C-alpha cells in the first residue's frame, strides 16, 4: 500500500514538473518577444527580426540599432530645427545605412489600410530625423510633406542591397543602387510584403555626405515568368544589342556573383563588351552599366541606347 502511495506521489510530481516546465517554455517564448523592445540582446533581436518581420533570410543592411533613447533627443522638434550628429554622415555608404536604419521602424499608415494592430514601431517620429539626411539642395526641391508622402502605407523597412554604380547625367556625386523590403498595410488589414528598388545620389556638404537625390519604385511579381525576354539579362543582350543593333558576334558564359550579373560578348566591330545587371528579389535583371575594352585592354564606361538602332 505504501509503495503504491509513494509511486502515485512521484507520478503526480512528474506531471506538475512537466506542466511547470512547459509553462516556463511558453513564458520564455513570450518574454523573448517582449524583450525585443526592452533590452539590447542582439541575438534575440535577430531571432525576432527573422520570425516576425520578413519573409526571407536575406541579410539586413540597415542594422544600426537606433532605439528610443536616440530619437528622444529629437522629439517635438520641427525638421528644420534638427541637427544630426556628424558620425552619421562620415562616408557615403555610412549615410545610406544610417538613413535606412533610422527609417527601419518608422510607420506612415494611411486611413482605410493597416495590419490589424495599433501603434507600429516608432510611428512617424523617425521621419523628421530622416529628412535631415537629405542635402540642403535636395530639401529645397522636396518639402518635408512631400518627403513624408514617399513613405505612405510603409510600416517597416529592411534595406537588403546597396551597391555603388557609375555616375550618370543626373548625378555628379557618388551613386548607389538600393533595394529594400517593406511591410505595407491593406484594406483587409493584413500586412503584406512589398519590394522596392532605386538609386541614390550622394552629395558632399561640408565635411559630411548627404543624400542629394533618391528615387525608388515598386517591384512587380509574376510578370517575369509570364512576360518574356526583357526580364532576363542574357535575352536583353541577345535581342537589344544583338538583333536590334547587330553588335553581338558571340556572347560568352554569364558570370554571376550573388545579385550581380556580368554578361560579356565579342562585338561585330572587333571590340569586347561587358554589360552589368543587378538581379532584383523578384528575379528581374536591371541593366546597370555598359563597358567596352579599349586598345590598352582596359574597360571603359560607355553609354549606348539600343532603342536608337530601331529608328
Sign of the dihedral through C-alpha 45, 47, 48, 54 = positive
pLDDT of 88 higher than 70? yes
Regarding pTM above 0.85, the answer is: no
Q: Which residue has the higher pLDDT, 143 or 18?
A: 143
- E strands, the chain, are 154-165, 175-184, 192-205, 208-218, 248-251, 255-257, 260-267, 272-279, 285-293, 299-302
pLDDT of res. 32: 35
For the chain, first and last CA: distance in Å?
A: 103
Nearest CA-CA partner of 274 in 286, 292, 257: 292
**For residue 43, what pLDDT is reported?**
55
Look at residue 55 in the predicted model and tell me its pLDDT.
67
Q: Would you give the distance in Å from CA 230 to the centre of its chain?
A: 23
| Averaged confidence pLDDT in the chain | 84
Provide the pLDDT for residue 218.
Answer: 93
Nearest to 265 by CA among 228, 304, 226, 221: 304
Fold of 64-218: Nuclear Transport Factor 2; Chain: A, (3.10.450)
CA distances from 129 to 85, 151, 208, 230 (A): 11, 14, 16, 39
Domain boundaries, the chain: 1-49, 64-218, 223-310
**Which of 47-61, 77-91, 138-152, 162-176 is the least confident region?**
47-61
pLDDT digits (tens, 9 = 90+) for 244-299: 999 999 999 999 999 999 999 999 999 999 999 999 998 899 999 999 999 999 99
Model pLDDT for residues 178-219, shown as the tens digit of each residue: 999 999 888 888 888 999 999 999 999 999 999 999 999 999
- In what helix (H) or strand (E) does residue 6 lie, and over which residues does it extend? helix 2-35
Is residue 265 within 8 Å of residue 252, measured between CB atoms?
Answer: yes
Per-position b or e across 29-51, b if 16+ CB within 10 A of its CB: eeeeeeeeeeeeeeeebeebbee
Class of domain 223-310: alpha beta
Q: Which residue's C-alpha cell is 510633406?
A: 145
Kindly report which listed range (25-34, 159-168, 265-274) carries the lowest average pLDDT score: 25-34
> Which residues touch 245 (CB under 8 Å, ≥6 apart)?
304, 306, 309
Amino acid at each position: 500500500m505504501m509503495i503504491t502511495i509513494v509511486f502515485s506521489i512521484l507520478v503526480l510530481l512528474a506531471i506538475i514538473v512537466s506542466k511547470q516546465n512547459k509553462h516556463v517554455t511558453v513564458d520564455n517564448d513570450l518574454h523573448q518577444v517582449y524583450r525585443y523592445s526592452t533590452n539590447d540582446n542582439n541575438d534575440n533581436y535577430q531571432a525576432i527580426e527573422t520570425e516576425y518581420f520578413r519573409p526571407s533570410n536575406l541579410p539586413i543592411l540597415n542594422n544600426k540599432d537606433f532605439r528610443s533613447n536616440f530619437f528622444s533627443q529629437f522629439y517635438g522638434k520641427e525638421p528644420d530645427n534638427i541637427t544630426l550628429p556628424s558620425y552619421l554622415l562620415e562616408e557615403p555608404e555610412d549615410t545610406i545605412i544610417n538613413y535606412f536604419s533610422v527609417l527601419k521602424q518608422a510607420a506612415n499608415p494611411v486611413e482605410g489600410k493597416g495590419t490589424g494592430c495599433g501603434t507600429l514601431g516608432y510611428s512617424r517620429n523617425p521621419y523628421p530625423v530622416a529628412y535631415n539626411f537629405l542635402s540642403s539642395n535636395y530639401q529645397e526641391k522636396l518639402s518635408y510633406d512631400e518627403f513624408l508622402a514617399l513613405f505612405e502605407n510603409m510600416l517597416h523597412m529592411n534595406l537588403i542591397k546597396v551597391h555603388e554604380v557609375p555616375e550618370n547625367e543626373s548625378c555628379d556625386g557618388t551613386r548607389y543602387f538600393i533595394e529594400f523590403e517593406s511591410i505595407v498595410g491593406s484594406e483587409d488589414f493584413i500586412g503584406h510584403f512589398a519590394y522596392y528598388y532605386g538609386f541614390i545620389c550622394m552629395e558632399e556638404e561640408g565635411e559630411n555626405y548627404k543624400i542629394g537625390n533618391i528615387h525608388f519604385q515598386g517591384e512587380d511579381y509574376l510578370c517575369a515568368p509570364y512576360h518574356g525576354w526583357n526580364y532576363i539579362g542574357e535575352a536583353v543582350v541577345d535581342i537589344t544589342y544583338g538583333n536590334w543593333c547587330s553588335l553581338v558576334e558571340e556572347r560568352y558564359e554569364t558570370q554571376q556573383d550573388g545579385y550581380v550579373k556580368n554578361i560579356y560578348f565579342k562585338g561585330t566591330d572587333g571590340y569586347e563588351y561587358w554589360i552589368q545587371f543587378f538581379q532584383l528579389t523578384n528575379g528581374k535583371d536591371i541593366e546597370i552599366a555598359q563597358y567596352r575594352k579599349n586598345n590598352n585592354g582596359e574597360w571603359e564606361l560607355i553609354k549606348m541606347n539600343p532603342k536608337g538602332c530601331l529608328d
